[in-house]
């Protein structure tokens, strides 16, 4: 459950009052989406961090960044310092990144070590977070090495799970079983063999907009005809359907008539791909902000990490199949795909930042929605509201 400050509780009360017009319950044609404050208020941002990001499974890093045993990466979730570490058993674990003695942050940059050693009084912990030794703990030269008796001083572990190359953390421990969380998307990926899928490259973008606008834009195909000339040529509006949703999953997809060098046209495909997937593109959002697309030759992960009420950082990580991921032979083909994603994302950023600017207008407060395309926007808004109200129920 969330532990909210008085300011956050007040922000929540103000936010809930703004929803009293029933905007999220009304039919889409008469309803609306989240009020402006959800995209502009610092108090709301902190509230959202303490609820949405604390109580759900959230993506925190890529397993390929923790290649060797002892690799450690500091991360942050809901304002709290955490550390990911690769253990002797090959598992990636997450811990509160803080020494149990007097609270010094343990890891401040990516490193490799056989143990955590605090720089303050040199208490040490193994890769499973267990206290190893406390030098001079009982007086000069009287070291504590009998640490089995003091589990209070072990590092505090957080729920952490790895799915393919993607590491998730649930800070509160209340988000439920991770397998259940990913199940709706895993069942839709049947037929895609990830065994020879490899990370290739990542694109990074700083966006002057709230993270929710990036996610809402990612899932909706309605803007394609106006924002993405190439994409509209690849699959036209009459061949597109609106996004759908199930539990914590939003999803959409299409069939393309002909592959393009940017999608399925030049790079190797997933092995033994079933016929019905040959001309398919699908994309998904695992609430709150783990987004990805899949085509016969690639997986593209989009993460919009909140950095403030009006800013986020986006990472697009690109994965290709077999030799497509790294051989010289496919260098140009890969570069073409990467450039295509960069171009498309710049087109999106243009409208995402305009939508942020519009959230400061008295002429807008949640919008007039398309009953055909926008039910997903209301659904996403309800997921946000439910997460924020969670400990009120």
Phi, psi of 4 (to 5 degrees): -105, 140
Q: Which of 323, 321, 279, 265 is nearest to 298 (CA)?
A: 321
121 binds ligand FES per the rule CB under 6 A: yes
Q: Which does 58 bind (CB under 5 to 8 A by kind): ligand FES, Fe ion, none?
A: none
* From candidates 9, 21, 101, 198, binder to ligand FES by CB under 6 A: 101
Phi, psi of 284 (to 5 degrees): -145, 150
* From candidates 25, 120, 247, 339, binder to ligand FES by CB under 6 A: 120
Token code pair at residue 189:
């990926």
Print the binding letters for residues 240-269 with ligand FES: x by CB under 6 A, - otherwise: ------------------------------
CA distances (Å), 339 to each of 240, 302, 332, 358, in order? 24, 15, 10, 29
Closest distance to ligand FES from the beta carbon of 199 (Å): 35
Cis preceding linkage at 364, omega within 30: no
Residues facing residue 124 across a β-bridge: 117, 133
Size of the site for ligand FES (CB under 6 A): 8
Residues facing residue 60 across a β-bridge: none
**Cβ of 6: how many Cβ atoms within 10 Å?**
7
Closest distance to Fe ion from the beta carbon of 5 (Å): 36
Closest distance to ligand FES from the beta carbon of 61 (Å): 24
Cβ proximity to Fe ion, 332 vs 342, nearer residue: 342
Instruction: Report the SS3 class of residue 301.
Output: strand
Closest distance to ligand FES from the beta carbon of 148 (Å): 18
Q: Which does 118 bind (CB under 5 to 8 A by kind): Fe ion, ligand FES, none?
A: ligand FES
Q: How far is it, in rounded angstroms, from Cα 288 to Cα 299?
A: 19
**Sheet of strand 311-321, all strands in order from the earlier edge strand to the far edge:** 197-207, 311-321, 298-308, 290-295, 280-286, 249-255, 244-246
Q: How far is it, in rounded angstroms, from Cα 302 to Cα 285?
A: 9
Cβ proximity to ligand FES, 109 vs 276, nearer residue: 109
Cβ proximity to Fe ion, 185 vs 349, nearer residue: 349
* From candidates 348, 373, 377, 381, binder to Fe ion by CB under 5 A: 348
Cβ proximity to ligand FES, 74 vs 242, nearer residue: 74
* From candidates 116, 123, 211, 222, binder to ligand FES by CB under 6 A: 123
Using CB under 6 A, list all residues that contact ligand FES.
Answer: 99, 101-102, 104, 118, 120-121, 123
């Amino acid at each position: 459950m969330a532990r909210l400050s008085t300011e956050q509780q007040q922000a929540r009360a103000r936010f809930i009052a703004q929803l009293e017009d029933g905007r999220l319950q009304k039919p889409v044609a008469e309803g609306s989406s989240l009020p402006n404050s959800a995209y502009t208020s610092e108090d709301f941002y902190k509230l959202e961090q303490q609820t949405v990001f604390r109580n759900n499974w959230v993506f925190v890093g890529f397993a390929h960044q923790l290649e060797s045993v002892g690799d450690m990466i500091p991360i942050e979730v809901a304002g709290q310092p955490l550390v990911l570490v690769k253990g002797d058993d090959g598992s990636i674990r997450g811990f509160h990144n803080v020494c149990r003695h007097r609270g010094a942050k343990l890891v401040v940059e990516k490193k490799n070590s056989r143990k955590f050693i605090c720089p303050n009084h040199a208490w040490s912990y193994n890769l499973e977070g267990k206290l190893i030794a406390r030098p001079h703990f009982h007086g000069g030269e009287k070291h504590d090495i009998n640490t089995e008796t003091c589990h209070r001083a072990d590092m505090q572990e957080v729920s952490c799970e790895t799915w393919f190359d993607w590491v998730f953390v649930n800070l509160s421990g209340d988000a439920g079983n991770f397998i259940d969380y990913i199940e709706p998307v895993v069942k839709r990926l049947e037929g895609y063999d990830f065994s020879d899928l490899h990370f290739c490259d990542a694109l990074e973008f700083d966006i002057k907009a709230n993270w929710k606008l990036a996610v809402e834009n990612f899932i909706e195909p309605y803007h394609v005809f106006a924002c993405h000339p190439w994409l509209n040529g690849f699959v036209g509006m009459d061949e597109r359907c609106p996004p759908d949703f199930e539990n914590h999953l939003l999803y959409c997809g299409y069939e393309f008539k002909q592959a393009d060098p940017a999608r399925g046209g030049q790079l190797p495909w997933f092995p033994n791909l079933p016929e019905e997937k040959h001309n398919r593109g699908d994309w998904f959002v695992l609430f709150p902000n783990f987004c990805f697309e899949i085509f016969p030759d690639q997986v593209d992960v989009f993460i919009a990490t909140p950095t403030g009420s009006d800013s986020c950082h986006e990472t697009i990580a690109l994965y290709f199949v077999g030799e497509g991921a790294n051989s010289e032979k496919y260098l140009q083909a890969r570069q073409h795909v990467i450039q295509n994603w960069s171009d498309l994302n710049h087109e999106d950023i243009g409208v995402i930042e305009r939508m942020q600017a519009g959230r400061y207008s008295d002429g807008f407060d949640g919008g007039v929605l398309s009953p055909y395309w926008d039910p997903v926007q209301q659904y996403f808004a309800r997921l946000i509201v439910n997460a924020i109200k969670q400990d009120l129920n």
